[in-house]
Chains A and B, each alone.
Chain A
Amino acid sequence: MKLYCLSGHPTLPCNVLKFKSTTIMLDCGLDMTSTLNFLPLPLVQSPRLSNLPGWSLKDGNAFLDKELKECSGHVFVDSVPEFCLPETELIDLSTVDVILISNYHCMMALPYITEHTGFTGTVYATEPTMQIGRLLMEELVNFIERVPKAQSASLWKNKDVQRLLPSPLKDAVEVSTWRRCYTMQEVNSALSKIQLVGYSQKIELFGAVQVTPLSSGYALGSSNWIIQSHYEKVSYVSGSSLLTTHPQPMDQASLKNSDVLVLTGLTQIPTANPDGMVGEFCSNLALTVRNGGNVLVPCYPSGVIYDLLECLYQYIDSAGLSNIPFYFISPVANSSLEFSQIFAEWLCHNKQSKVYLPEPPFPHAELIQTNKLKHYPSIHGDFSNDFRQPCVVFTGHPSLRFGDVVHFMELWGKSSLNTVIFTEPDFSYLEALAPYQPLAMKCTYCPIDTRLNFIQVSKLLKEVQPLHVVCPEQYTQPPPAQSHRMDLMIDCQPPAMSYRRAEVLALPFKRRYEKIEIMPELADSLVPMEIKPGISLATVSAVLHTKDNKHVLQPPPRPAQPPSSKKRKRVSEDVPDCKVLKPLLSGSIPVEQFVQTLEKHGFSDIKVEDTAKGHIVLLQEAETLIQIEEDSTHIICDNDETLRVRLRDLVLRFLQKF
């Protein structure tokens, strides 16, 4: 059993598991932090961005000044943003049988894999994962395609050139494999390969293994996966949460008794408590608005935004913010808000029960109804007519490199009354802000990451007790910035096996059993014999029939009909179809008694030597050697078949036959 690790990002995993005869890809995450090296794509022409000076080497060489621009001491690539794909060379991706998706954030690389690697298999995901995943991809494609950029920088990627660049460009990994965003056509084609599944549904893969999605409590439709055969169980835990937010709670019990538990997608901010951060978010929001400033919340169009809107729903009246407009701007804003209300069966119990009242499960419906929350596909069109300040704007993309957020950063960045509040933990907020410097607007970092923290992981592991834990290497050591925090790492026994990008792990257990069925008529013919109290054995002669990874013992074919009398003469020479069954032996040979028996039968000059595995009885006179080991006995004599048979019979006296 092997695990091929294609992504180095612990929360955007992409691993391939080879288990029995199947090849299973676990998640398909796309590392978008690469886009932080690029200049933002402004929706409206930005004189500031277009007038940034080109970057030149120390010696004044300016051959890169078209590709690289400098802003407040940082250098950015002036080109269409590119993404860092999972490894494609480590394993032939056309051999992947299935892809299991755990949540909508972990499928963003899907089009690259399904459309460009010869992949012919099936993708399994829950319905909300697929639908919201589609929205995220649609938004991404839209954000990038609506700001066409003629230039595609490639000079800087040259290894010799890259060496000369300042950090972080200098240290960016595998820049040559970075790719531009996929198209909507590719998205549609990739999504058409998805087969929808429900929690606890058992899916047979070629009869060899069974895969089952379990609720992971992190997002709408998010799942952990169980991959099991009759005797082995691998659990894949990715992006799980034990907090009570909108999704169905995490199913922990089904993870018990795993041989291997692959653990990814823990919280990216292990020191922050989501509740505290939500409080911080609300306080900063209210403070800014009360002072007449605007609040910008860069966010994804689905996920935490539902919880934030719910908190604000409870908070705005008490904070005296009832007259402040909340705008949600995304090409998929409408679909996202509506989808969230129709996936009732994937929601937590409280929200599910609302559906029966009947009420919308999320209170943002009421916010929309009362005109407190308005949503628009983009800043163009209706929005510009309705726009009123001070206000609160939720919009993407959290990297601040594309999407409507770029416009608001440019618009509001100059006033210290305004605040940008970062709630998504995927991007370093300082790096995200770098191309907007100098910036007058206030910045607040309230990352809300509801995924498991290390205390919860340690409780989970104690509860489900897997034999082995496999996780990204980042989880086996404290975070680099807090090297003394020994509590911020996975602590389990035996220690977790860690992996990094482009590594292949041999998982530490061997398959020892396989399930075989016995046909009833064959089972009928068995005659068990008790060899120890409670243990019976029977010999089986059968034909092993294997098809679709299922093994069946069938009765052996009947011996051929006795041939006609004419051929009777030759019968004895014929090798029979079915050999006469030899008895099976069991027991051990007591060496001393055996030697005495040999002596009784006239052998003399017997010498016994102890070996590591057993004994060697030397019959020096007869130049014969009897090697007795735990599971075998060999008689080595020099072509003297009579002697061998005599000795064999003496050995057999000490063994039981059946």
Chain B
Amino acid sequence: MGVEAFSVAWDRSEESLECSLQQHLRGTAVLIMDPECARLLPALCAVLADPRQLVADDTCLEKLLDWFKTVMETECSLHLLQDHPCLMELLSHVLKPQDISPRVLSFVLRLVGIFAAQEDCFQYLQQGELLLGLFGETGALSWAAWNMPSVRSGWIQGLCSLAQHPSALHFLADSGAVDTIFALQGDPSLFVASAASQLLVHILALAMQGGASGSSISEAAAWPVCAQKIVNHVEESLHSKATPQVTQALNVLTTTFGRCHSPWTGALWGRLSPPVACLFERDPIPAVHSLMDLLLSVARSPVLNFAACGLWEMLAQTLSRLSPTQAGPLALGTLKLQHCPQELRTQAFGVLLQPLACILKATTQAPGPPGLLEGTAGSSLTVDALLSSKSAFVGLLCQTLAHLEELQMLPQCPCPWPQVPLLEATVTILRLCDGSANPSSSVGGRLCGTLGGCVRVQRAALDFLGTLSQGTSPLELVLEVFSVLLKTLESPESSPTVLKKTFQATLRWLQNSHKIPNCSDLSPDALLFLGELFPILQKRLCSPCWEVRDSALEFLTHLIRHWGGQADFKEALHSSEVPTLACQLLQDPESYVRASAVGAAGQLSSRGLQATPTSPENPQAQQGLLMDFMHILSTDSEGFPRRAVLRVFTEWLRDGHADVIRDTEWFVATVLQAVSRDLDWEVRMQGLELAQVFLIQAMGRSSLHCPYTVGLPEATSPSPHPEFLQTLCRLPLFEFAFCALLDCDRPVAQKACDLLLFLRDKTTSCSGPQEAGDSPNSASVEAVLQRWREGEQGQPLGDLEPEAMLAILRSLDLEGLQGKLAKSSDHMEKSPQSLLQDMLATVGILEENEADCY
């Protein structure tokens, strides 16, 4: 469903783009039902009505419906029906009992609904008894195909489409359709049942919208008959003893309050809140999840006066009645509400904190941190109760940690936020997981046993720990955090996923551990921590598990990016073997690891932290790394390391890395040469990026070859020096870009197009009045380009003068190409005309076969 919806939306945007373009060009009104489509339509309708013809593909029918919807957005459906009698024939054809396939029946029901959405067309169809014949009791309901969920779904969707105007309401009331919808709420197909509930909400909203006149709306008795009928049904269902019925009613209400924000919803809640409240008195409470959804949906409604309608009391009561596992999502939902009374927020927060408070209580000797336990003082929840089922306990803990993590990010985050007890609880949980906790109580011992080695809880706790780094914490707790992070990173028991999360949390704590405004330096404690961390990182870089090596390298890259410039950090890093090991991993057998190693080594080199600066036998270590990277770029069999190399090279070029500026031309030429042969489109794309960076940089300078020339500021030299163009030809950047323009991968061609446009704009004033065709050289280039277009891409452009290049550049319709490339490669196949042709073509083959048989 989701994918289809997406493709439909995409289609529309594509078409509307095309329409606006056409409109713009012709200056006429949009005509979507173009003559060609109109010509194909009768044949298609005949095919659909013919039971012998099988429409092979459901998606064709969906696309057809989408097309009709689009047509109807701009055209009058009555006219359409009248102009195309074949359509009417198709619709009325269904009225006769034949063995039409269920998918066509469903299609027709939905199509009629789309037509009848316009009131005049509705009247027209009703006169012909078509509507009653399809949607009435003698219609679809009496067909054998009604057993098919797709037909029932089509019936509902058809009604949903046509229910747009008062006439439709009357029709619904008279035809008895509403009763059928009530029944369909309990349909065995979940799609049908859910659609039926949605339809009820839709009809209710329509009825109320139509009947909305003045103040009488608050009087439920004055409501339109149709609305009353639905509300009565919902009320009855709420009183039902059967949970499924209660659930249906609650779902209808939840959707209603979620969608409709008119004043009448207040009256609706006023009438239905007593039976809803009664549900809480039952034991067990039926349909707990739907009930919670309803309460939250009501609470989010902008039109209700909550204080008057008793919603807060109901929420408070629910929070206290439900078990901790059930109440968690409700508590989170409550806390997210905009206008919630403080008291209720405190209660909800207390519910959310309960499991953590229990753990703290069970593991701490002291009476317990007051901040966390205040809200839960009256709670009877104990660890004993929680520990009765390990899986339920683990689930609750993970849920709680995730909820708290989500909450801390929100503007509604409770204030004051109990940072210290939460941090203590999270550290305790992590210690229980890694077995380093040493609680004296027997309950604590049981907690150890339950959570020991529990990766799920460990991951959730690490995520939350990372989020907690945003708050301000006392130093001794920060040190505790560092110690538990070290323990987890060090422990042989830590799984690769746990390690990855630990690295992430560590990074966040290092960033936030000691916030000094306007200072990104590491605190002394963080530096001490790093001193202990690097030996562990060394070990992790040697892990037999590639995921661990990979995340260790990524972590290292982040560390250097943040603090690589800081002297203390440099010293700590240098005193370890980490840089050497990271560079050794450039030869790792796993391509992901090699890619990460490229990133790390690139960062190290950017910061002057390369592995072997003191090695006497290797004075060219730095240059060595550049050559290593070049080697990877031209020989590595996997794409990831090559992409990583280009990312690093681009960064080096942008940042003016010493090795690159030593001979930029050589650097760019070598890279482009390697990239042009690469089979990986992302590498080629990254190559264009590098070329672009090079161009931008070079154009900023007056001359590429004379860095010592006293150049004037940019403003006086808007166009590049001719020598520069020579360089571009020599590199050969032009050739590379022209090749990329014809790349079979669209993003590469797009990027190349952008690059050439940029280049063309910058060089407009560069050459003389010479025209492209004037140069014999450029003619040969054109010839080569033409051959390339035809698929022979082996031939090089050869040595070309800048003038020739510029001439080609100007002669190319880059804008046109850009427009073409912007469209997806299958845009031609998505036109309505092609859809109709395709559908006919598939059955056309059948026809031919039939003729052969005779």
* CB-based contact A486/B539 at 8 Å: no
Expressed in whole angstroms, the Cα–Cα distance for A485 and B441 within the complex equals 10
Within 8 A of A (CB), among B511-562: 538-540, 542-546, 548
Which chain B residue shows the least CB distance to A315? B544
Decide yes or no whether B444 CB sits under 8 A from chain A: yes
Decide yes or no whether A277 CB sits under 8 A from chain B: yes
Expressed in whole angstroms, the Cα–Cα distance for A314 and B449 within the complex equals 34
How far apart are A274's CB and chain B's nearest CB, in angstroms? Answer: 10
Expressed in whole angstroms, the Cα–Cα distance for A503 and B438 within the complex equals 33
Decide yes or no whether B367 CB sits under 8 A from chain A: no
- 1/0 per residue, CB under 8 A from A, across B430-443: the answer is 00000100111110
List B contacts of A314 (CB < 8 A): 544
How far apart are A90's CB and chain B's nearest CB, in angstroms? Answer: 35
Decide yes or no whether B587 CB sits under 8 A from chain A: yes
* CB-based contact B492/A446 at 8 Å: yes
Q: Which of A238-246, A317-325, A331-339, A596-604 contacts B (4 or more CB under 8 A)?
A: A317-325
Decide yes or no whether A291 CB sits under 8 A from chain B: yes
Which chain A residue shows the least CB distance to B444? A484
How far apart are B640's CB and chain A's nearest CB, in angstroms? Answer: 16
* CB-based contact A290/B581 at 8 Å: yes
Which chain A residue shows the least CB distance to B535? A287
* CB-based contact B449/A485 at 8 Å: yes
How far apart are A420's CB and chain B's nearest CB, in angstroms? Answer: 16
Decide yes or no whether B453 CB sits under 8 A from chain A: yes
Expressed in whole angstroms, the Cα–Cα distance for A485 and B444 within the complex equals 9
Expressed in whole angstroms, the Cα–Cα distance for A272 and B492 within the complex equals 8
Decide yes or no whether B752 CB sits under 8 A from chain A: no
With A272-B492, A290-B581, A487-B452 in contact, do A283 and B588 touch (Cβ < 8 Å)? no
With A317-B589, A320-B587, A487-B452 in contact, do A283 and B540 touch (Cβ < 8 Å)? yes
* CB-based contact B544/A311 at 8 Å: yes
List B contacts of A117 (CB < 8 A): none
Which chain A residue shows the least CB distance to B543? A283
* CB-based contact A487/B435 at 8 Å: no
How far apart are A323's CB and chain B's nearest CB, in angstroms? Answer: 13
Within 8 A of A (CB), among B435-493: 435, 438-442, 444-446, 448-450, 452-453, 491-493
List B contacts of A283 (CB < 8 A): 539-540, 542-544
* CB-based contact A487/B448 at 8 Å: yes
Within 8 A of B (CB), among A291-324: 291, 311, 314-315, 317-320
Which of A282, A317, A318, A446 lies at the interface centre, i.e. has the most chain B CB atoms within 10 A of its CB? A318
- 1/0 per residue, CB under 8 A from A, across B86-128: the answer is 0000000000000000000000000000000000000000000
* CB-based contact B440/A319 at 8 Å: no
* CB-based contact A318/B542 at 8 Å: no
Contact count band on B: 35 or more
Decide yes or no whether B174 CB sits under 8 A from chain A: no
- 1/0 per residue, CB under 8 A from A, across B400-414: the answer is 000000000000000
With A272-B492, A487-B452 in contact, do A290 and B435 touch (Cβ < 8 Å)? no
Decide yes or no whether A280 CB sits under 8 A from chain B: yes
Decide yes or no whether B813 CB sits under 8 A from chain A: no
* CB-based contact A279/B544 at 8 Å: yes
Which chain A residue shows the least CB distance to B581? A290
* CB-based contact A287/B492 at 8 Å: no
* CB-based contact A318/B540 at 8 Å: no
- 1/0 per residue, CB under 8 A from B, across A486-508: the answer is 11100000000000000000000
* CB-based contact A287/B538 at 8 Å: yes
Decide yes or no whether B4 CB sits under 8 A from chain A: no
Decide yes or no whether B745 CB sits under 8 A from chain A: no
- 1/0 per residue, CB under 8 A from B, across A255-285: the answer is 0000000000000000111001111101110
* CB-based contact B577/A280 at 8 Å: no
Which chain A residue shows the least CB distance to B445? A484
Decide yes or no whether B584 CB sits under 8 A from chain A: yes
How far apart are B542's CB and chain A's nearest CB, in angstroms? Answer: 4
Decide yes or no whether A286 CB sits under 8 A from chain B: yes
Expressed in whole angstroms, the Cα–Cα distance for A320 and B542 within the complex equals 10
List B contacts of A287 (CB < 8 A): 538-539, 542, 577, 581
Which chain A residue shows the least CB distance to B363? A484
Within 8 A of A (CB), among B206-258: none
Within 8 A of B (CB), among A332-363: none
How far apart are B324's CB and chain A's nearest CB, in angstroms? Answer: 23
* CB-based contact B544/A486 at 8 Å: no
Contact of B542 among A278, A286, A311, A488 (CB under 8 A): A286
How far apart are B458's CB and chain A's nearest CB, in angstroms? Answer: 13
Expressed in whole angstroms, the Cα–Cα distance for A273 and B577 within the complex equals 28
* CB-based contact A484/B543 at 8 Å: no
With A291-B577, A484-B439 in contact, do A279 and B545 touch (Cβ < 8 Å)? yes
List B contacts of A277 (CB < 8 A): 492
How far apart are B592's CB and chain A's nearest CB, in angstroms? Answer: 13
List B contacts of A284 (CB < 8 A): 539, 542
List A contacts of B441 (CB < 8 A): 484
List B contacts of A482 (CB < 8 A): 438
* CB-based contact A485/B445 at 8 Å: yes
* CB-based contact A484/B584 at 8 Å: no
List A contacts of B446 (CB < 8 A): 486-487
With A290-B581, A486-B449, A487-B448 in contact, do A282 and B492 touch (Cβ < 8 Å)? no
* CB-based contact A280/B448 at 8 Å: no
Within 8 A of B (CB), among A441-461: 446
Decide yes or no whether B680 CB sits under 8 A from chain A: no
Decide yes or no whether B590 CB sits under 8 A from chain A: yes
* CB-based contact B492/A279 at 8 Å: yes
Which chain B residue shows the least CB distance to A444? B539
List B contacts of A272 (CB < 8 A): 492-493
Expressed in whole angstroms, the Cα–Cα distance for A272 and B494 within the complex equals 11
List A contacts of B440 (CB < 8 A): 484
Contact of A486 among B438, B442, B538, B543 (CB under 8 A): B442
Expressed in whole angstroms, the Cα–Cα distance for A271 and B436 within the complex equals 11
How far apart are B748's CB and chain A's nearest CB, in angstroms? Answer: 33
Expressed in whole angstroms, the Cα–Cα distance for A287 and B446 within the complex equals 37
- 1/0 per residue, CB under 8 A from B, across A544-568: the answer is 0000000000000000000000000
* CB-based contact B584/A290 at 8 Å: yes
Expressed in whole angstroms, the Cα–Cα distance for A311 and B544 within the complex equals 9
Expressed in whole angstroms, the Cα–Cα distance for A539 and B545 within the complex equals 74
List B contacts of A280 (CB < 8 A): 492, 539
Which chain B residue shows the least CB distance to A311? B544
List A contacts of B491 (CB < 8 A): 276
How far apart are A27's CB and chain B's nearest CB, in angstroms? Answer: 30
* CB-based contact A290/B587 at 8 Å: no
* CB-based contact B439/A318 at 8 Å: no
With A283-B540, A319-B542 in contact, do A484 and B438 touch (Cβ < 8 Å)? yes
* CB-based contact A282/B444 at 8 Å: no
With A279-B492, A287-B538 in contact, do A318 and B445 touch (Cβ < 8 Å)? no
With A271-B435, A272-B492 in contact, do A487 and B449 touch (Cβ < 8 Å)? yes
Expressed in whole angstroms, the Cα–Cα distance for A280 and B540 within the complex equals 9
Which of A311, A317, A487 lies at the interface centre, i.e. has the most chain B CB atoms within 10 A of its CB? A487
List B contacts of A483 (CB < 8 A): 445
List A contacts of B588 (CB < 8 A): 318
Which chain B residue shows the least CB distance to A279? B544
Expressed in whole angstroms, the Cα–Cα distance for A598 and B631 within the complex equals 117
Expressed in whole angstroms, the Cα–Cα distance for A446 and B539 within the complex equals 14
Could you give 20 example pairs across A and B, Cβ below 8 Å?
A276-B493, A276-B494, A278-B544, A279-B548, A282-B543, A283-B542, A283-B543, A284-B542, A287-B542, A287-B577, A290-B580, A317-B589, A318-B588, A320-B587, A478-B445, A484-B440, A484-B444, A486-B446, A487-B449, A488-B449
What would 11 more interface pairs be, CB under 8 Å, given A485-B448, A486-B442? A272-B493, A276-B491, A276-B494, A279-B544, A280-B539, A282-B542, A282-B544, A291-B577, A318-B588, A486-B446, A486-B449
Task: Write the residues of chain A forming the contact surface with B, with a CB cutoff of 8 angstroms.
Answer: 271-273, 276-280, 282-284, 286-287, 290-291, 311, 314-315, 317-320, 446, 478, 482-488
Task: Write the residues of chain B forming the contact surface with A, with a CB cutoff of 8 angstroms.
Answer: 435, 438-442, 444-446, 448-450, 452-453, 491-494, 538-540, 542-546, 548, 577, 580-581, 584, 587-590
